[in-house]
Amino acid sequence: MANIGGFALLCILVISCFGFIAALLGRRPETRRFEKVAEHAVYACFALYLMATASLIYLLGTSQFAYAYVANETNRELPFFFKLTAVWAGQEGSLLFWGFLLSIYAAAIVAGYRKKFPELMPYISMVFLITIFFFSILHIFVSHPFNELALVQPDGSLTAFVPEDGQGLNPLLQHWAMIIHPPLLYLGYVGCIVPFAFAIAALATRRTSVDWIRATRRWTLIAWFFLGAGILLGAKWAYAVLGWGGYWSWDPVENASLMPWLTMTVFLHSVMPQERRGMLKVWNMSLVTLSFALSIFGTFLTRSGIVSSVHAFGASSIGTYFAVFLCIIIAVSGFLILTRLSHLKSENRLDSIFSRESAFFFNNLILLGACLAVLWGTMYPVISEALEGQKITVGATFFNRINVPIGIFLLLVIGVCPFFTWKRTSLDSLRRNLLLPILCGILSAILLVMSGMRVPAAIATISCGVIVIVTIAIEFYRGARMRHMNSSDAYPVALFRLIMKNKRRYGGYFVHISIVMLFVGFAGAIYNSEFKAELKQGEAAQFGKYLIQCAGVTEGENPNYFTYKAYLHIIRGETDLGVLSPERRFYKASQQPSSEVAIHTSLIEDLYLVFAGMSDDGQRAVIQIYANPLVTWIWLGGLVFVLGSLIAILPDRMGTGDTRGA
């Protein structure tokens, strides 16, 4: 199977190169037949990537330790579903998986749009094929997933070597979330190429109307959804596995996934003024380029070794290849945008600062400002080392100081935006519509202060969130009431049909609700507290309103790891919460420890327990205890995000639907 996989990768290298040349030749009407060759090259690359990926899965599943990747990432006793996870656990496999997803997107776009956009298709094929060619170079020459293990003899010759067992999968990756989280992120990263390919084709052919945006809007939403869902699931993994009581640490690789999501969010909002009034054309082209460039930049950060991260692969020369490819993307895109400026002129001007266009513009500036702040903080250690010879680390304090006020301002804009109209909004109308949401926001701030909350950032976040929720509730009520009056549908039926008729608008509102829920959860982190206890069997410790009693510690093992489990009886006030069992594991193959945390969850607060091991005398269980308010709202917000995104992605039976909200 390894020979089949290696041969498939070599064929991808050759076919993608020839396919790119064929697409280049097929740009003109008289040579359009070459475009058919390029399209078939895309299909062939998909089939070959499928073959190569299946070969790697077979080798991992059958424990073929003669191959370096299998020996490095798995062991015999590893459960099969974690052997599947090993496909993207190491650099070679993750790059192969990246290329495989890229080939799926390429084949789907070519199959779905070759007849709808024949003039654009040669350029779209070129973008996909040159990207596939780039990754095939990495597979063959830099990071081959089918290399065999060998021993170097004293005379310099090589002999085959097959270890009895592999080193095993990193214990941090042996969690259900890691079966789903990386594929979601990759689907988001790779999906950025779809709007980018259409944008390049539109620029090259000077067909810069909204057709390319309408063709790619749903694909952009899909990539944006996958990336956002992947980020949230990654936060859940970090919370449940890393054992530090948090879910987001502003780690460079975490930031690398957030940045393209932010720019794609900007783009999804920014296309509305272009669709409606022919504005922001240069801006949108730049955002598409930036999103794809940031997706490649994130892959570069993960693999170059220039930043330290628990999520990153080891240092490698592969970063140079990504840096060169990134420069090519920026140079080609920048050249096309600059040479097509005359075709990207806005058809209308901003009529009033009190308009929906200006609201979208402010929304764009806020999100882009957050992205630039994250980029600066992520790269500052690298820049400081290059300029001053000293790597200065930027911690979470910097990111929070910058992004907390940005987030609060974003909530405020989200809350008032639905009441703006296109072109111009009368101040009387704005005052009438905003009166109730602002009063509710002020009332919520007063109640929060009366309840004992004193941190301004938390009060402002929750109060602005209330403004958003009231605004959206008014929009839902008005729409459902109008439909009820016109059709005599019951209110629940009217509301459902309203949402289904305007999926883009009301799906966007659900996403905005999810953002509020996420921000409420983030605000709770201000009041996190922690405590460390060492307990013998029968001893108890008081932590705030919790009484934590050690009922004992047990040992055990299975073929994959040894385990030590603490049993902790939890009482909160007069309520018996039962027994929680945090666990400490030691994996046999990799010789690495890991923690399995225990969490008691409620809407108000999480009690988060980590079994850190035994005390020096071996008599006491060392328990790290965290009280994390409002964390559940983050995971609930994630579910609402999924719901809203899926509603917005669904096709409209009645055409493109309302474009007023997102």
309-344 pLDDT, tens digit each: 555 555 567 888 999 999 999 999 999 999 999 999
Q: Give residue 534's pLDDT.
A: 93
Average pLDDT over residues 469-475: 95
End-to-end CA distance of the chain: 47
Strands (E) in 526-574, as ranges, are 529-535, 540-543, 546-557, 561-572
Confirm if 74 and 168 have CB atoms less than 8 A apart. yes
List the one residue out of 189, 201, 58, 48 whose CA is nearest residue 123.
Answer: 201
477-496 residue pLDDT tens: 999 988 888 887 888 898 99
According to DSSP, the residues that pair with 621 across neighbouring strands are: 535, 614
Task: Provide the 3-class DSSP secondary structure of residue 454.
Answer: coil
Distance CA 461, CA 442 (A): 12
The upper half-sphere exposure of residue 144, i.e. CA atoms within 13 Å in the direction of its Cβ, equals 17
- Check if the beta carbon of residue 563 is closer than 8 Å to that of residue 557: yes
Residues 502, 655: contact at Cβ < 8 Å? Answer: no
- Say if residue 239's pLDDT is above 80: yes
Q: Report the pLDDT value the prediction gives residue 659, as an integer from 0 to 100.
A: 38
Residue whose pair of structure tokens reads 């902790």 in the numeric block: 568
Cα within 13 Å of Cα(120), Cβ side: 29
- CA-closest candidate to residue 526, choices 609, 602, 442, 456: 456
Q: Which of 661, 532, 651 is nearest to 214 (CA)?
A: 651
Angle between helices 91-113 and 193-205 (to 10 degrees): 50
Q: CA 80, 81, 84: angle at the middle one, nearest 5?
A: 90
622 pLDDT exceeds 90?
A: yes
- Rounded CA-CA distance 648/641 in Å is 11
**CA-angle at 61, arms to 59 and 63, nearest 5°:** 65
Rg (CA), the chain: 27
User: What is the structure's pLDDT at 145?
Assistant: 94
Closest CA to 121 of 206, 214, 38, 210: 38
Write the single-letter amino acid at 505: R
Say if CB 519 and CB 410 are below 8 A apart.
no
Ranges of each domain in the chain: 1-150+158-169, 527-633
Task: Please give the average per-residue pLDDT across 27-51, as a whole number.
Answer: 91
Question: Rounded to whole angstroms, how far apart are CA atoms 171 and 148?
Answer: 24
Cα 633 from Cα 353, distance rounded (Å): 35
Spatial CB neighbours of 424, under 8 Å, sequence gap ≥ 6 = 351, 352, 354, 355
pLDDT at 654: 42
Tokens read off for 573 = 């006030």
The pLDDT of residue 454 is above 60: yes
Tens digit of pLDDT for each residue in 109-153?
999 999 999 999 999 999 999 999 999 999 999 999 999 998 877
Average pLDDT, the chain: 90
Residue 420 φ/ψ region, left for φ over 0, alpha for ψ in the -120 to 50 degree band, beta for the rest: beta
* Residues 550 and 530 sit within 8 Å (Cβ to Cβ): no
Structure tokens at 626: 């965290």
Q: What is the mean pLDDT of residues 337-366?
A: 87
What's the confidence (pLDDT) of residue 246?
Answer: 92
Find the mean pLDDT for residues 579-597.
91
Give the integer Cα–Cα distance in Å for 312 and 239: 18
Place of tokens 């917000």: 637
CA nearest neighbour of 256 among 219, 304, 327: 304
Query: Is the four-CA dihedral 609, 613, 617, 621 of positive or negative sign?
Result: positive
pLDDT given for residue 658 in this prediction: 39
Q: What gap in Å lies between CA 267 and CA 237, rounded to an integer?
A: 28
pLDDT given at position 655: 38
Quick count: other Cβ atoms within 10 Å of Cβ 488? 9
Buried b (16+ CB within 10 A) or exposed e, 346-357: eeeeeeeebbbb
Instruction: Check residues 394 and 558 and name the one with the higher pLDDT.
Output: 558
Per mean pLDDT, which range of 262-271, 640-649, 650-659 is the poorest? 650-659
pLDDT of residue 311: 53
Q: Are 591 and 573 contacting, i.e. CB atoms less than 8 angstroms apart?
A: no
**Which positions ≥6 away from 532 have C-beta within 8 Å?**
622, 623, 624, 625
The partner residues of 540 in beta bridges, in order of sequence, read 549
Q: Tell me, what's the pLDDT at 305? A: 66
Q: Is the Cα dihedral 476, 479, 485, 491 positive or negative?
A: negative
pLDDT of residue 152: 77
Helix (H) or strand (E) holding 622: strand 621-629
- Of 99, 103, 96, nearest in space to 73 by CA: 96
Give me the phi and psi of 201, to 5 degrees please: -65, -40
Assess whether pLDDT exceeds 60 at residue 216.
yes
Count CB-CB contacts under 10 A for residue 338.
10
pLDDT tens digits for range 520-560: 999 999 999 999 999 999 999 999 999 999 999 999 999 88
The pTM is what?
Answer: 0.93
| Residue 631 in tokens | 């964390």
Q: What is the pLDDT of residue 37?
A: 94
Tell me which of 388 and 580 has the higher pLDDT. Answer: 580
User: In the prediction, which pLDDT does 310 show?
Assistant: 53
Q: State the sign of the Cα–Cα–Cα–Cα dihedral 460, 466, 472, 475.
A: negative
Helix ranges (H only) for 62-176 are 68-73, 80-85, 91-113, 121-137
Question: Which of 23-37, 145-159, 379-393, 627-641 shows the highest mean pLDDT?
Answer: 627-641
Enter the tokens of residue 48: 């070959």
Q: Are 104 and 37 in contact (CB under 8 A)?
A: no
Dump pLDDT digits (tens) for 628-654.
999 999 999 999 999 999 999 998 654
